[in-house]
């Protein structure tokens, strides 16, 4: 019943045009996927020789989800004020501190696009590991919930039979 309900809710949300990524729990959990997409797109811009501040502003205009769009707009504004681009991305929450330092070092070394793409791939891998861990933890819980439902049905079926046998004896 729970699985059917979840499939029904997801289907209804997608039918009405509401993205399941906008749900509060999933949007927090899937933010790393948005960060990876931003890094991949910025890597393309850097490879083409475009300034990161201008590319961030341009990307912000094309993002459908409001969360990444607002973060990119704030980061572009910080970059426009003269801040380092990796620091601006860290301050708005797109990057972690260690990631921003790694990208700063990659820029100094001259392999920034490669580092951005590798970091994006690493973010996606970590998200896949986390998702697998959550699913692995939730499957036994779901089995227990369904097992409890089966137990209730079994008790409901056999309780009158037990009372009938006791009444006959």
Q: What is the pLDDT of residues 60-106, one digit of tens each?
A: 888 777 778 888 899 999 998 888 898 999 999 889 999 999 999 99
Q: Where are the alpha helices (DSSP H) in 52-96?
A: 52-62, 66-80, 85-91
The CB-side HSE value for 92 (13 A sphere, CA atoms) comes to 24
Percentage with pLDDT > 70 across the chain: 93
Q: Rounded to whole angstroms, how far apart are CA atoms 29 and 21? A: 9
The CB-side HSE value for 138 (13 A sphere, CA atoms) comes to 8
Of the candidate ranges 58-67, 74-83, 122-131, 144-153, the one whose mean pLDDT is the lowest: 58-67
pLDDT tens readout for residues 26-56: 666 778 888 898 999 999 999 999 988 889 8
pTM of the complete model: 0.72
Report whether pLDDT(142) > 80.
Answer: yes
Q: Give 87's contacts (C-beta < 8 A, 6+ positions apart).
A: 78, 100
Q: Rounded to whole angstroms, how far apart are CA atoms 131 and 123? A: 12
């Amino acid at each position: 019943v729970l699985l059917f309900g979840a499939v029904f809710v997801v289907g209804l949300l997608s039918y009405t045009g509401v993205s399941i990524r906008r749900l509060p729990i999933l949007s927090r959990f899937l933010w790393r996927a948005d960060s990876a997409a931003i890094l991949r797109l910025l890597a393309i811009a850097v490879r083409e020789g475009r300034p990161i501040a201008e590319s961030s502003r341009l990307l912000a205009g094309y993002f459908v989800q409001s969360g990444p769009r607002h973060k990119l707009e704030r980061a572009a504004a910080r970059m426009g004020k003269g801040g380092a681009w990796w620091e601006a991305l860290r301050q708005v929450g797109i990057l972690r501190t260690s990631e921003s330092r790694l990208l700063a070092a990659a820029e100094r070394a001259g392999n920034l696009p490669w580092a951005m793409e590798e970091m994006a791939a690493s973010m996606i891998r970590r998200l896949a590991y986390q998702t697998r861990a959550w699913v692995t933890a939730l499957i036994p819980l779901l089995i227990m919930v369904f097992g409890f439902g089966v137990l209730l049905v079994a008790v409901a079926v056999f309780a009158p039979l037990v009372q009938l046998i006791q009444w006959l004896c």
